[in-house]
Structure 1
């Protein structure tokens, strides 16, 4: 800061000074200051600023009385300087007439920033840097602004691992705008610094690999580090040091500390970290004394706590067992699930004896709370009653924390809301002993539109052609509002009903139409669902119409109605589903079904599905399990016709009324392997069997299992055949032509999310799986399976559903009965001879088949 020397009043001059001074050529004496009236005040050198505003900031206005010399001039200068708009400020007296003094405020404005640009970095990096710095057109340029801008840019790139980042700002006068400058910000990132070595010294109780695993973002270079490169940032390093010490605390070393750590460069691309640890002494849990508990005995609380005297001291475990852990096994949950919302637990460390830490746990149970009003907020489409019928916390019931957790799961299973946006706001009223609960949801798109084209449908007798598909799935539909004009925005919705329409065709060769509707709460009072579906499939092998004498092909018309209900026993995770269906087959010289290539067949069957599902979310489950038992059967018509010899009948006569029974059992678990529940292990198994009532009539030619590939086969997925995926092999290559009656499959997947955004959920996976189909019980061997391994990715888009891409390797030769559609292709011929072949598979839908 520089004040002009000539004609200015300095604050450095003390009141004890007695010598005369001048102010604009006028003589003033500190020993005898005089009072003047301020006349008109002139502002010089600030043409682009409001002069009246400058006078107000300075505190000098016409008519005001001022004493000279005094601190008033100095204060005026300080007021103007604090605005940061001027580089030089001076105030002097122009003249004095009859006690009126005329002052001049002379200013040198600082330049303004008109625009700025980046050099040396990409456009994407420039956009990120703009968010970090505080530059904008019109901002006053100061030396501090330049310093802070450079510092923030260097800090940004240091956090990205560019420790040698250099920033230079070139200032150029803007010839188009007065008192303005242009910044050219040149950034030289330099090489990215990696961590060549992390050396941890002094640890004997915790293995080094565990310590290095605890450091989530500070990792040393390695061959296997493909997806996340090694880099060093100060913020991550400080966080990881805290995580490092937590590992020692978990094994009783609560006094462990880092006594010294050093980070130094080895060369321009590598650095080394040295950490010196002092573990200290090992501590153990001692006696635990419970105070204030009347609801539960102390011995029972000891059991729930699960910590015994002599166990290694682990503060994190102790805290989780008291206040809440991922498994729900804690003292707080025990009380809160019984209505003790106002419950408090206060652990007190009483003393330490021989490295055993003794605790006194003081409990304040409080009154039992009941639920007050239950409200919903955030549902812009889904009606309140659809949400409230899934809410487990009812007004007047005793408060239960588990009911809130269960409500979150049930709302997630609807598929209408963003799991990450779910909130619960309890509003307790201790005076009344009640708690009002507000559930906050965030709607997401659940409807799906399918408009696609692809090449497929090729088979032994069907040429491959372009297939077009149009489909609409409305998963939150409302028939009640169908005839209300105001409800069409764009479609009537909000009642949780599901309506699906789909059409697929490649011209005369193949046409398929499907319609289905589900009401999840029939009558609106109980969770009993009603489903109805109808489909029509027509396939011409030669491309001729059905009326043409050269026509060969088949058509299938089906319909069905189902009733589902939630069960209360053995627990309310169980559901049951009953379905009555009818399928009519019209086959004309078609070779897809070796046992029946011409005639009519009728399939009237009853299906029963018993399922227990406790998965946490429908798209990316992070916990829970899913078990399903499916039974489907027709009537045993042959039992009612003892006088009929089926062996002497033609195929058309024998299969006019299809008869069979089938069972299928599947199970899967979702096991979190990390504390944040992101890395998920999913084991899955499945078995299926199709039986016959009468050996002379034989198995149904239609309902079979076919295995291999992605589980997608376009027009070949006909005749009730269940096509099961086995990645690493060609479609339907593992089974016999027409399918097999017995199947077994085992899968192990390791999943990790890339993004859990509800608008686009991505996760990567690696898998091991094995499976096979068998023509008879004599051939069945659960260990004779075709193995495969590979990697894949899944993408869930609300408008299109789940899409997947897998790259798998098949390892085993095919069996002699494997004469399916893909078994004669080049890939599986090589499998039969070599036992190994890589295969790329594309999938659509939540599951690869149903096994």
Structure 2
């Protein structure tokens, strides 16, 4: 075999490319191939050796590499090219051999060159002189889009990998085009077209500009989804199972009808799961087609073969020593003859939403190393029998607790909320409760919670790492509003508000210089300062401080607060024309968590004092137009709260019962007829008792628990110890509107919101001692991001207040319906806007009632009202 033919054979094996041989020279060349699919590009190779060298392919010769010359590598470091090639001066090389082919392959793999050649210029005394010649690929100097707006272009930039200086290849062009088309298809533009023009840059050498021409076409929507062959599951149920592939409907608000291949593939699996849930485990899609009916709409036809229906057979347990098989049967809740449902079996064995599963049974009792495996043992007459094999393992105890991610909150604040204590038996339920308790603090991003168990089977322990992510919890309220009426002047006023709430404050660090960044924080204390004013007509100031763990050992909270409110007609108090009221108050609240009936309960004890000074205010306080009153009261509250989150609860409930009372002064005052004494003497010390009950529940209506139904009921009653002395002129209920604080909330009255009506219009002008309210809300989150939680809602609510027990009728209520939005911003708290329609006429005692002959639209009902709210539960009973 000739020398050139042998070298041809070796190079062909090494580079799988074309080899061309010449009598006086041999050359290896790597050239870019321009195939339709850029992944298929391969180097094209040749070798050329000058100087009349004759090669014996049967007897390769070893040379020493002399100086290596680099040609065509403008903009690249020659030494870097030599390094990548794997060739260096002084290196021994065999020709013919594999090293030259490897050098070309190494350079080609970098993707920087469109052509790679290696020449042997000459050979002198066993030293071979090489030249590496490369043709660099062009660089990207810039790129721009046509056919789309800036917002869409910005979104595409986030997905494509283009930047100035990036090496251009056919593969890059292909992938960029594919990603842009994929983006448009995910947005519903199934017929989108993209063309990338490569324009030489006239300024930068060996550089190109990409002109990306985008033609989205029209957005294609799913006109109809036809399901054929389904008999056991209704088509509507199957369509609802397809979460992201929806046909067009007028009522569809939260889901679009766009078509994407990825969503369609997922939803076909979800559809088949519906068949599996009713025993049709062999159900399959035998044919499906997606076709255009016009340039805007497509149709989907899906043909189903249901197959036969299956049932559960006998279920036996193996390996269980801690619990009897009959007890495990009860927890499992599946009996022979039940319709076969593999998903239900998995949920009952491992992870059920309600905690009713075998895995929870064991893991809540310390068996962290527990494992369960269902094995099919018999298949007769469409009955599937199972042998459930349990490996209990040994009990695991909690080892070390680690906390990571708390850059602001001190460790002890987190540790006191953690239910998993070192030395305790491991319990999955304790971990779930810990996550809830940490979420209730409001300091951390709930979506970023992580729990990392680190078990050590040999020692029988498990270390637990809790990972949190701090979020802003302090709130700043700086606002000005025009609205609400001065109830003295009956004129709308401009009200300015400045409020500061620090939810993770630290008094301990007040005198630590480095802690002021900007304020001492990390100990979980709450400090609130708030002021409202519009000048001389209205002023309100509030201060409160809460220590949630008084003494640091038990969850016993202490709150102290002070407030002062002044409302008048603008005249100085010494002026004879002055009309107004001032209220000054202070109080202290002690709270504690209870362990009985369960640890979701808490209770609080409050002692408060309010001083009322009324001047010529008979229009609003007919029982005390002039004078002062002292309100010394004690309040007890018991509450059970199991909601999953304080901002957007998706499950759980809050039930509250409270009682507030003053001393029964009339018992020892010795006055039989209070009508015979002055109002000042009658109400010098207020005498009353109040009982309030409120309950709210949250029900997730969707599998992802995003769609939530909230129901709430509230009732309040205020009574008098002495019928002759009568109901206190203060602390009465005022119903209607937004329930927001400000000009419409006169101190000493409890304002209850009822959307769809004007503020305070449903109660008598002096307030009422009895109130009821019922609420139902359907909520759906647009964003659960902790920096801006945003959800929409639709509501139906009803309520009323009553001047006496004789008038009380819990079914005589004023109804309204409407919709609204809520947005929670950490710096401002919960903000809300609602638009409601009230459609019941007012009661005769209501302040907004104008008589039966009134023909205004407000008295006829069906009028809309826009209301604004600030805060979480303002205006609730």
Judge conservation of contact 1:522–1:530 (CA < 8 Å) in 2: yes
Report the 3-state secondary structure (helix = DSSP H, G, I; strand = E; otherwise coil) of the residue aligned with 1:248.
Answer: helix
Provide, for residues 556-596 of structure 1, a one-character-per-residue CA deviation record: whole Å limited to 9, x for no partner.
11111121122222222111111111111111102322222
**Aligned residue for 1:819?**
847
User: Quick check: 1:320 aligned with 2:347?
Assistant: yes
User: Quick check: 1:214 aligned with 2:231?
Assistant: no
Judge conservation of contact 1:729–1:810 (CA < 8 Å) in 2: yes
Change in 2 beyond 3 A, CA 1:518/1:33: closer
Judge conservation of contact 2:502–2:526 (CA < 8 Å) in 1: yes
**Aligned residue for 1:585?**
612
> 1 CA distance for matches of 2:724 and 2:252?
62
Provide, for residues 258-312 of structure 1, a one-character-per-residue CA deviation record: whole Å limited to 9, x for no partner.
1111112222222111111111111111111112222222111111111112111
Comparing 682-691 with 121-130, greater Cα deviation is found at 121-130
> 2 CA distance for matches of 1:229 and 1:585?
57
- How far did 1:206 drift? 0.4
TM-score normalised per structure 1: 0.94
Comparing 60-69 with 798-807, greater Cα deviation is found at 60-69
User: Quick check: 1:489 aligned with 2:517?
Assistant: yes
- How far did 1:406 drift? 1.5
> 2 CA distance for matches of 1:424 and 1:298?
32
**Aligned residue for 2:739?**
711
> 1 CA distance for matches of 2:291 and 2:672?
92
> 1 CA distance for matches of 2:423 and 2:84?
63
**Aligned residue for 1:410?**
437
**Aligned residue for 2:673?**
645
- How far did 1:751 drift? 0.7
Change in 2 beyond 3 A, CA 1:690/1:831: farther
**Aligned residue for 1:849?**
875
Provide, for residues 143-169 of structure 1, a one-character-per-residue CA deviation record: whole Å limited to 9, x for no partner.
222222212211221222111111111
Change in 2 beyond 3 A, CA 1:141/1:777: same
- How far did 1:611 drift? 0.8
**Aligned residue for 2:689?**
661
**Aligned residue for 1:736?**
764
Report the 3-state secondary structure (helix = DSSP H, G, I; strand = E; otherwise coil) of the residue aligned with 1:580.
Answer: strand
**Aligned residue for 1:17?**
none
Q: Structure 2 matches for 1:235-314, cutoff 5 A? A: 235-314=262-341
> 1 CA distance for matches of 2:725 and 2:500?
41
**Aligned residue for 1:422?**
449
> 1 CA distance for matches of 2:282 and 2:550?
62
Judge conservation of contact 1:350–1:359 (CA < 8 Å) in 2: yes
Judge conservation of contact 2:565–2:747 (CA < 8 Å) in 1: no
Comparing 56-65 with 362-371, greater Cα deviation is found at 56-65
User: Quick check: 1:758 aligned with 2:786?
Assistant: yes
> 1 CA distance for matches of 2:118 and 2:470?
63
User: Quick check: 1:155 aligned with 2:182?
Assistant: yes
> 2 CA distance for matches of 1:604 and 1:168?
79
User: Quick check: 1:461 aligned with 2:461?
Assistant: no
- How far did 1:740 drift? 0.8
Judge conservation of contact 2:363–2:426 (CA < 8 Å) in 1: yes
Among candidates 120, 123, 143, match of residue 116 of structure 1:
143
Comparing 229-238 with 147-156, greater Cα deviation is found at 147-156
**Aligned residue for 1:230?**
257
Among candidates 851, 862, 869, match of residue 836 of structure 1:
862
Judge conservation of contact 1:814–1:832 (CA < 8 Å) in 2: no
**Aligned residue for 2:653?**
625
Comparing 664-673 with 334-343, greater Cα deviation is found at 334-343
Change in 2 beyond 3 A, CA 1:72/1:663: closer
Judge conservation of contact 2:48–2:120 (CA < 8 Å) in 1: no
Comparing 220-229 with 748-757, greater Cα deviation is found at 220-229
> 2 CA distance for matches of 1:532 and 1:313?
60
Change in 2 beyond 3 A, CA 1:35/1:495: closer
Provide, for residues 521-548 of structure 1, a one-character-per-residue CA deviation record: whole Å limited to 9, x for no partner.
222222221111111111122x112122
Comparing 289-298 with 194-203, greater Cα deviation is found at 289-298
Provide, for residues 183-221 of structure 1, a one-character-per-residue CA deviation record: whole Å limited to 9, x for no partner.
111111111111112111110000100000000111111
Among candidates 585, 593, 596, match of residue 624 of structure 2:
596
Provide, for residues 128-153 of structure 1, a one-character-per-residue CA deviation record: whole Å limited to 9, x for no partner.
21222222222222222222221221
**Aligned residue for 1:681?**
709
> 2 CA distance for matches of 1:796 and 1:125?
28
Report the 3-state secondary structure (helix = DSSP H, G, I; strand = E; otherwise coil) of the residue aligned with 1:575.
Answer: strand
Change in 2 beyond 3 A, CA 1:829/1:649: farther
Judge conservation of contact 2:233–2:275 (CA < 8 Å) in 1: yes
Q: Structure 2 matches for 1:42-57, cutoff 5 A? A: 42-57=69-84
Change in 2 beyond 3 A, CA 1:384/1:831: farther
Report the 3-state secondary structure (helix = DSSP H, G, I; strand = E; otherwise coil) of the residue aligned with 2:759.
Answer: coil
Report the 3-state secondary structure (helix = DSSP H, G, I; strand = E; otherwise coil) of the residue aligned with 2:630.
Answer: strand
Q: Structure 2 matches for 1:30-45, cutoff 5 A? A: 39-45=66-72
Change in 2 beyond 3 A, CA 1:693/1:312: same
TM-score normalised per structure 2: 0.91
Provide, for residues 452-481 of structure 1, a one-character-per-residue CA deviation record: whole Å limited to 9, x for no partner.
111234144233222111111111112222
User: Quick check: 1:9 aligned with 2:26?
Assistant: yes
**Aligned residue for 1:724?**
752
Judge conservation of contact 1:814–1:831 (CA < 8 Å) in 2: no
Comparing 738-747 with 830-839, greater Cα deviation is found at 830-839
**Aligned residue for 2:8?**
none
> 1 CA distance for matches of 2:356 and 2:48?
84
**Aligned residue for 1:447?**
474
User: Quick check: 1:788 aligned with 2:816?
Assistant: yes
Comparing 24-33 with 145-154, greater Cα deviation is found at 24-33
Change in 2 beyond 3 A, CA 1:510/1:342: same
Report the 3-state secondary structure (helix = DSSP H, G, I; strand = E; otherwise coil) of the residue aligned with 1:716.
Answer: coil
Comparing 165-174 with 36-45, greater Cα deviation is found at 36-45
**Aligned residue for 1:702?**
730
> 1 CA distance for matches of 2:86 and 2:420?
64
Comparing 167-176 with 200-209, greater Cα deviation is found at 167-176
Change in 2 beyond 3 A, CA 1:22/1:588: closer
Report the 3-state secondary structure (helix = DSSP H, G, I; strand = E; otherwise coil) of the residue aligned with 2:387.
Answer: strand
Comparing 564-573 with 712-721, greater Cα deviation is found at 712-721
Change in 2 beyond 3 A, CA 1:675/1:10: same
Q: Structure 2 matches for 1:109-148, cutoff 5 A? A: 109-148=136-175
Comparing 40-49 with 585-594, greater Cα deviation is found at 40-49
Across the two proteins, how many residue pairs are aligned to each other? 838
Report the 3-state secondary structure (helix = DSSP H, G, I; strand = E; otherwise coil) of the residue aligned with 2:262.
Answer: helix
> 1 CA distance for matches of 2:97 and 2:511?
84
Judge conservation of contact 1:323–1:330 (CA < 8 Å) in 2: yes
Report the 3-state secondary structure (helix = DSSP H, G, I; strand = E; otherwise coil) of the residue aligned with 1:549.
Answer: coil
- How far did 1:549 drift? 2.8
